[in-house]
Amino acid sequence: MKKTLLAVPLLVLATSTVFAADGTITINGQVTDKTCTVNSAQGKDFTVTLPTVSQQVLANTGDVAGRTPFTINLTDCTAGSKVATYFEPGATVDFNTGHLNNATGTATNVQVQLLGSNNAVIPVLAAGAGGVQTNSQLVDVSNAGSADLNYYAQYYATGASTPGNVATTVKYTIIYQ
């Protein structure tokens, strides 16, 4: 028994690994009292319905079709501030392309791209400087405390598409500056 009790501490010492720090990561952030109310027609959770398209228009990798506008309407914001949308990278995101996978639909080789009001693709990946994703635009809040965040969604072919439904989701957060 005494030999077993002595062996345990010696075993722990023998198996411990030595680590040396190579650097320090400083993480900064800010919590604000600025908020807005999402005041879109369907509420904060809403559906964007893409048009039905032929599989022939999504025959090759990179083909796009069915660009459909949608708007996130905000009210009760702090006048004079700026807002943007941060699309949360989650389970439905292809982290290689930044597009949304066809999560529950039956069509194959089809993803969904999000675009800003400038028609530039917004990769749903980590945010850059200032908490804003690439190609997501900061929008000025009006003196009345409202802002409209305009976007597009469209089909994107990852190969020759096959017929079926396309269904995906993405969570979003409003960023305040």
The confidence band for 30, taking pLDDT boundaries of 50, 70 and 90, is low
Which segment of 25-29, 79-83, 157-161 scores lowest on mean pLDDT? 25-29
On average, the pLDDT of the chain sits at 85
pLDDT for the residue numbered 19? 62
Predicted confidence at residue 121, as pLDDT, reads 93
Going by pLDDT thresholds of 50, 70 and 90, the confidence category of residue 43 is confident
3-state SS record for the chain? CHHHHHHHHHHHHHHCCCCCCCCCCCCCCCCCCCCCEECCCCCCCCCCCCCCCCHHHHCCCCCEEEEEEEEEEEECCCCCCEEEEEECCCCCECCCCCCEECCCCCCCCEEEEEEECCCCECCCCCCCHHHCCCCCCCEECCCCCCEEEEEEEEEEECCCCCCCCCCCCCCEEEEEC
- Residues 13-27, mean pLDDT to the nearest whole number: 64
Q: Between residues 142 and 2, which one has the greater pLDDT?
A: 142
CATH says 34-176 is which class?
mainly beta
Q: Is the pLDDT of residue 169 over 80?
A: yes
Q: For the segment 98-154, what is each residue's pLDDT rounded down to a tens digit?
A: 999 999 999 999 999 999 999 999 999 865 555 556 667 889 999 999 999 999 999
Does the pLDDT of residue 5 top 90, yes or no?
no
